[in-house]
Amino acid sequence: MIDTHAHLYLPQFDADRAEVISRFAEIGGRAILMPATDAETTRRALEMEDEYADGPVRLHTMAAIHPTSAKGITDAALAEIAGLAADSRVVAVGETGLDHYWDVTYLDDQERSLRFHARLAVEVDKPLVLHMRDKDGQETCARALVGILGEESAAAPAGALRGVFHCFGGPAWLVSEVMALGFHVGLGGTLTYPRADVATVTASVPLERIILETDAPYLAPVPHRGRRNEPAYVRLVADRLAEVRGLPVDEVEAVTSSNAVRLFGLAVGS
């Protein structure tokens, strides 16, 4: 299995990181992809990737500035990310995107950062990993995000801008937009939340366009909800997806892992 989104470098794992990785290996885990939130976390992820290079699980790094870290973003900060994204060990540009949930006083900075990262992803020929969060019942963030991506995709060579909408949960109309853009959807712990309705919203998404994730240490699936999440819990996401799709869990694991290998250009067996 592959966990395509886990912040394994965060201090929540400092006390037992090796054990967390070992538990992931025990459930058949092969690779963990680590999204960055700024240059510092990108470098930390790269250090961890090297530190655990000989272990049972391959770690892979992303490079980006998270939208909640984009306030007052500078050319120097963006240039630093561009340099990191060019590193051959970096498999994706992420996570970037838009956040209308927390502080909405710097949306211009967020949009500038998103456009930069989208163009960077095309330049380095790596997928773009997107964060999107809005206030309950609002859709302004989703519409702004697909609008910007549509413009950036149209300006790039056909198919060059690709990636994943991380922690996908709708709204329902967004599914067709994501499919038209050629992006994947990342499904994690929220798929197991009864009131989230993620299974219904994503029912029309082909399995070949789905990858699995945890967003560890956040958004732990049922029955661990409210506690620290970890990569081994991606098995619970696979189990739930298999249940709602009426498929064998082995098929869900195989197809979603193959999707991740193809999307992120992972080495065979990683």
Domain boundaries, the chain: 2-264
User: Strand pairing of 90-99 and 128-133?
Assistant: parallel
Instruction: Look at residue 195 in the predicted model and tell me its pLDDT.
Output: 87
Q: Measure CA 233 to chain center.
A: 16
Does the pTM of the predicted model rise above 0.95?
Answer: yes
The overall average pLDDT reported for the chain is 96
Taking the domain 2-264, which CATH number applies?
A: 3.20.20.140
Closest by Cα among 127, 70, 67 to 93: 127
Computed on alpha carbons and rounded to an integer, the radius of gyration of the chain in Å comes to: 17
235 to 169, 189, 217, 241: CA distances (angstroms): 19, 10, 15, 10
Instruction: Look at residue 267 in the predicted model and tell me its pLDDT.
Output: 86
**What number of other Cβ atoms are within 10 A of residue 66's Cβ?**
19
Instruction: Look at residue 269 in the predicted model and tell me its pLDDT.
Output: 54
Instruction: Look at residue 137 in the predicted model and tell me its pLDDT.
Output: 67
pLDDT tens for each residue of 187-222: 999 999 998 899 999 999 999 999 999 999 999 999
- Location of structure tokens 């082909």: 206
Segments in the chain below pLDDT 70: 137, 268-270
